[in-house]
Each structure stands twice: as structure tokens, then as C-alpha cells.
């Protein structure tokens, strides 16, 4: 699947998850919009796919619902995938340090900065990633210069283009101190190793079952 298509698919899945969270909370989408200081229709439009779902808005919705963003993304994008069935408790604890106390604008800025770093870390040409997403060669770079405009489709598409799973990206985003437990490994390397380990454990459990 092309990165742009993968980005659209993952963004649609995220919209469904957010819609379910709002529905289960008993709070209307219009009320969430009012809590964000936005027109009541804006949240409904974003969740219906009639407007881009900005990363900043995602964090804002979670804050409006009192949902720690680290816990939300760890639950829906667990390292090792669904077969692992055992998210890391340590990452959940670390998620709290980067989640509830940070404003949506700050989290959006962190997301943009981490995406830029991960693109550079893979050795991919950012201009080619930009073209793969349907932008001009400099389009993605300009967007990351002002990450408040970064939307979910672009984020997921860029991750697909550089071969980084959403689970690993969000674990790194919300666990900034994870690498301290493993001297000699970068945070990204540690999380990649953990992800592969959990995938292997999940696969073995599936075969045994």
C-alpha cells in the first residue's frame, strides 16, 4: 500500500476510535468543540472526514475528555501489535509524564519535531517522503516548520514512508525517558528492540494456541 493510502487508512481508523471515545464518554461532539473553544460543528466535521483531523485537535479532544493521551495511544497502538496482549506497564507509567500536563499545542510541536527526527534518522530524503505523500518536494518540511497544521493523514503516511510503525512512534513520543533503562541504546533503538520482541512473543503465543 502506498504511503498516502496507508496514511488515509490509519487516519480513518483514528477518527473511528476518537468517535467511539466521545460516544462512550456521554459527551457530545458539539460539547467537545465548545470545550476547545471551536465551533460545535468543527469536531463533527473532522471526525466525519469532511475536514482534516489535525494532530493538535486530536490532543485537544483527548484533553477535553480528560483522557491522558499517552494511555490512549498506548492502548490503541500497542508495541508488538494486538497479538502481544501485554502492553508494557513501564511505558504506561512514562506516558503520564508526557501526556496530561502538556498542552495540545506542545504535544503537536513534539509530534512534529519527533517526526522530523525520525525521517532524518532513517536516512530518507525528506523531499522524497514529501513527494510520496502528494506534496511538493518542500511541502512536508514547511508543514513541520509549523506543526500546528500537521494532520493525522500526513503523520501516518510519513511513518509508512519511512518504515516506522505508529506503535513505536507513539511509544517514543510519550516515553521520553525509556532509554535511561538501557545504556548504549538510543530511545528509538530500544523501542524497536522491544517492539520486535513483543511481536515474536505474540506470534509464538498464537502458534501455541
Instruction: Delimit the domains of the chain by residue range.
Output: 3-208
Q: What is the pLDDT of residues 144-175, one digit of tens each?
A: 998 889 999 999 999 999 999 998 898 888 87
Q: Which triple of cell numbers denotes residue 9? A: 487508512
- pLDDT score recorded for residue 23: 94
pLDDT for the residue numbered 71: 86
What pLDDT score does 121 carry? 87
By CB atoms closer than 10 A (0-12, 13-18, 19+), residue 16 is exposed
Which residues, given as ranges, of the chain have pLDDT below 50? 82-100, 177-185, 201
Sign of the CA dihedral with 58 first, then 95, 144, and 129 last:
negative
> Would you state the pLDDT for residue 183?
42
- pLDDT digits 0-9 by tens, 129-149: 999 999 999 999 999 998 889
CB 148 within 8 A of CB 155: no
DSSP tag of 135: S
- Specify the pTM: 0.79
Amino acid at each position: 500500500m502506498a504511503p498516502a493510502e496507508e496514511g488515509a487508512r490509519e487516519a480513518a481508523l483514528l477518527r473511528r476510535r476518537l468517535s467511539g471515545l466521545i460516544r462512550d464518554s456521554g459527551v457530545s461532539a458539539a460539547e467537545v468543540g465548545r470545550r476547545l473553544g471551536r465551533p460545535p460543528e468543527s469536531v463533527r466535521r473532522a471526525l466525519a472526514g469532511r475536514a482534516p483531523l489535525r494532530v493538535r485537535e486530536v490532543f485537544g479532544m483527548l484533553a477535553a475528555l480528560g483522557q491522558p493521551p499517552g494511555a490512549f495511544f498506548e492502548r490503541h497502538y500497542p508495541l508488538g501489535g494486538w497479538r502481544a496482549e501485554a502492553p508494557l506497564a513501564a511505558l504506561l507509567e512514562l506516558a503520564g509524564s508526557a501526556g496530561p500536563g502538556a498542552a495540545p499545542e506542545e504535544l503537536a510541536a513534539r509530534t512534529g519535531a519527533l517526526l522530523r527526527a525520525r525521517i532524518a534518522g532513517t536516512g530518507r530524503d525528506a523531499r522524497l517522503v514529501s513527494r510520496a505523500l502528494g506534496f511538493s518536494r518542500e511541502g512536508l518540511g514547511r508543514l513541520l516548520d509549523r506543526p500546528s497544521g500537521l494532520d493525522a493523514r500526513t503523520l501516518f503516511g510519513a511513518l509508512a514512508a519511512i518504515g516506522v510503525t505508529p506503535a513505536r512512534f507513539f511509544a517514543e513520543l510519550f516515553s521520553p525517558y525509556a532509554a535511561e533503562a538501557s545504556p548504549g541504546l538510543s530511545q528509538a533503538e530500544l523501542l524497536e528492540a522491544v517492539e520486535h520482541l513483543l511481536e515474536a512473543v505474540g506470534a509464538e503465543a498464537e502458534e501455541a494456541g
